[in-house]
Copies of this chain bind each other. A is one copy, B any other.
Amino acid sequence: MSTSANKFNKILFTILKRNGLKYTKQREQILNTFLSLKGHTSVDTLYEILRKTNPSIGYATVHRSLKLFNKIGIVEMVKVGNQKALYEHKDKNRHHDHLVCVKCGNFTEITSDELENLQKRIASRNNFQIIDHKLIVYGICRKCKNKR
Protein backbone atom coordinates (compact mmCIF):
# COMPACT_ATOMS: atom_id res chain seq x y z
CA MET A 1 0.00 0.00 0.00
CA SER A 2 1.32 3.37 -1.02
CA THR A 3 2.27 6.10 1.42
CA SER A 4 -0.35 8.45 0.03
CA ALA A 5 -3.01 5.80 0.46
CA ASN A 6 -1.95 5.41 4.06
CA LYS A 7 -2.29 9.15 4.50
CA PHE A 8 -5.79 9.15 3.08
CA ASN A 9 -6.72 6.20 5.24
CA LYS A 10 -5.71 8.04 8.36
CA ILE A 11 -7.73 11.06 7.30
CA LEU A 12 -10.67 8.83 6.54
CA PHE A 13 -10.37 7.13 9.90
CA THR A 14 -10.29 10.44 11.71
CA ILE A 15 -13.25 11.90 9.88
CA LEU A 16 -15.32 8.76 10.31
CA LYS A 17 -14.59 8.63 13.99
CA ARG A 18 -15.40 12.30 14.38
CA ASN A 19 -18.81 11.52 12.89
CA GLY A 20 -19.38 8.44 15.02
CA LEU A 21 -18.97 6.15 12.04
CA LYS A 22 -16.96 2.98 11.68
CA TYR A 23 -13.87 2.42 9.61
CA THR A 24 -14.50 -0.57 7.37
CA LYS A 25 -12.37 -2.18 4.75
CA GLN A 26 -15.10 -1.49 2.21
CA ARG A 27 -15.00 2.23 2.92
CA GLU A 28 -11.24 2.18 2.73
CA GLN A 29 -11.30 0.35 -0.58
CA ILE A 30 -14.00 2.52 -2.04
CA LEU A 31 -12.25 5.73 -1.13
CA ASN A 32 -8.83 4.59 -2.26
CA THR A 33 -10.07 3.30 -5.57
CA PHE A 34 -12.13 6.41 -6.09
CA LEU A 35 -9.11 8.59 -5.39
CA SER A 36 -7.03 6.62 -7.85
CA LEU A 37 -9.37 7.77 -10.59
CA LYS A 38 -9.71 11.26 -11.94
CA GLY A 39 -12.54 13.19 -13.45
CA HIS A 40 -16.22 12.59 -12.83
CA THR A 41 -17.09 9.08 -11.73
CA SER A 42 -20.48 7.44 -11.41
CA VAL A 43 -21.38 4.82 -8.83
CA ASP A 44 -21.68 2.26 -11.61
CA THR A 45 -18.22 2.92 -12.94
CA LEU A 46 -16.62 2.76 -9.53
CA TYR A 47 -18.56 -0.37 -8.66
CA GLU A 48 -17.38 -2.13 -11.81
CA ILE A 49 -13.78 -1.25 -11.05
CA LEU A 50 -14.02 -2.27 -7.42
CA ARG A 51 -15.48 -5.68 -8.07
CA LYS A 52 -12.42 -6.62 -10.09
CA THR A 53 -10.36 -6.63 -6.91
CA ASN A 54 -13.24 -7.36 -4.55
CA PRO A 55 -15.96 -9.38 -6.30
CA SER A 56 -18.07 -9.53 -3.16
CA ILE A 57 -18.51 -5.80 -2.70
CA GLY A 58 -22.11 -4.64 -2.91
CA TYR A 59 -23.49 -2.02 -5.21
CA ALA A 60 -25.48 -0.49 -2.38
CA THR A 61 -22.34 -0.15 -0.32
CA VAL A 62 -20.58 1.75 -3.07
CA HIS A 63 -23.58 3.98 -3.54
CA ARG A 64 -24.00 4.59 0.17
CA SER A 65 -20.32 5.22 0.71
CA LEU A 66 -19.95 7.83 -2.01
CA LYS A 67 -23.01 9.55 -0.72
CA LEU A 68 -21.61 9.41 2.78
CA PHE A 69 -18.20 10.69 1.69
CA ASN A 70 -19.93 13.61 0.08
CA LYS A 71 -21.96 14.29 3.20
CA ILE A 72 -18.95 14.29 5.50
CA GLY A 73 -17.15 16.53 3.08
CA ILE A 74 -14.43 14.40 1.56
CA VAL A 75 -15.75 14.03 -1.98
CA GLU A 76 -17.67 16.31 -4.27
CA MET A 77 -20.86 15.43 -6.08
CA VAL A 78 -22.25 16.93 -9.24
CA LYS A 79 -25.64 16.27 -10.71
CA VAL A 80 -26.86 17.42 -14.09
CA GLY A 81 -30.61 17.30 -14.48
CA ASN A 82 -31.95 13.81 -13.89
CA GLN A 83 -28.74 12.08 -14.78
CA LYS A 84 -27.08 9.88 -12.23
CA ALA A 85 -24.86 11.55 -9.70
CA LEU A 86 -21.19 11.95 -10.53
CA TYR A 87 -18.51 12.13 -7.90
CA GLU A 88 -15.17 13.83 -8.07
CA HIS A 89 -12.21 14.66 -5.89
CA LYS A 90 -12.57 17.57 -3.55
CA ASP A 91 -9.94 20.12 -4.39
CA LYS A 92 -8.65 21.45 -1.14
CA ASN A 93 -9.36 25.16 -0.75
CA ARG A 94 -10.45 25.76 -4.33
CA HIS A 95 -14.03 25.10 -5.25
CA HIS A 96 -14.74 24.63 -8.91
CA ASP A 97 -17.84 24.82 -11.04
CA HIS A 98 -18.75 23.41 -14.44
CA LEU A 99 -19.47 24.36 -17.99
CA VAL A 100 -21.51 21.50 -19.42
CA CYS A 101 -21.81 21.01 -23.16
CA VAL A 102 -25.35 20.16 -24.18
CA LYS A 103 -24.07 18.51 -27.36
CA CYS A 104 -21.37 16.17 -26.10
CA GLY A 105 -21.90 16.27 -22.34
CA ASN A 106 -18.33 17.32 -21.71
CA PHE A 107 -17.44 19.09 -18.50
CA THR A 108 -15.12 22.07 -18.40
CA GLU A 109 -14.00 23.04 -14.96
CA ILE A 110 -13.81 26.63 -13.90
CA THR A 111 -12.56 28.37 -10.82
CA SER A 112 -13.15 31.99 -10.08
CA ASP A 113 -12.37 33.95 -6.95
CA GLU A 114 -14.57 36.67 -8.32
CA LEU A 115 -17.47 34.26 -8.43
CA GLU A 116 -16.84 33.05 -4.91
CA ASN A 117 -16.65 36.59 -3.57
CA LEU A 118 -19.69 37.72 -5.47
CA GLN A 119 -21.70 34.90 -3.95
CA LYS A 120 -20.55 35.82 -0.49
CA ARG A 121 -21.69 39.38 -1.06
CA ILE A 122 -25.07 38.31 -2.40
CA ALA A 123 -25.55 35.90 0.48
CA SER A 124 -24.67 38.40 3.18
CA ARG A 125 -26.93 40.96 1.56
CA ASN A 126 -29.73 38.41 2.04
CA ASN A 127 -28.66 37.41 5.52
CA PHE A 128 -28.05 33.94 4.20
CA GLN A 129 -25.36 31.69 5.61
CA ILE A 130 -23.69 29.88 2.72
CA ILE A 131 -22.85 26.20 3.10
CA ASP A 132 -22.11 25.35 -0.50
CA HIS A 133 -23.06 26.23 -4.01
CA LYS A 134 -23.33 24.69 -7.40
CA LEU A 135 -23.14 26.55 -10.65
CA ILE A 136 -23.69 24.80 -13.93
CA VAL A 137 -23.40 26.72 -17.15
CA TYR A 138 -25.04 24.98 -20.07
CA GLY A 139 -23.89 25.65 -23.59
CA ILE A 140 -21.79 24.49 -26.48
CA CYS A 141 -18.15 23.70 -25.98
CA ARG A 142 -15.27 24.77 -28.19
CA LYS A 143 -15.02 21.40 -29.88
CA CYS A 144 -18.70 21.14 -30.72
CA LYS A 145 -18.82 24.74 -31.93
CA ASN A 146 -16.11 23.96 -34.47
CA LYS A 147 -17.96 20.87 -35.67
CA ARG A 148 -20.12 22.67 -38.22
Contact = CB atoms under 8 A, between A and B. Distances in A.
A2 interface: no
A99 interface: yes
Interface stretch (A32-40, A48-56, A58-66, A116-124): A116-124
B112 A137 contact: no
A131 interface: yes
Number of copies: 2
A141 interface: yes
Q: How large is the interface on A (under 10, 10 to 19, 20 to 34, 35 or more residues)?
A: 20 to 34
Nearest to A82: B79
Nearest to A133: B137
A81 interface: yes
A114 B137 CA distance: 15
B131 A138 contact: yes
Contact of A134 (B135, B140, B145): B135
Interface of A: 79, 81-82, 99, 101-102, 108, 110, 112, 114-115, 118-119, 122-123, 126-142, 145
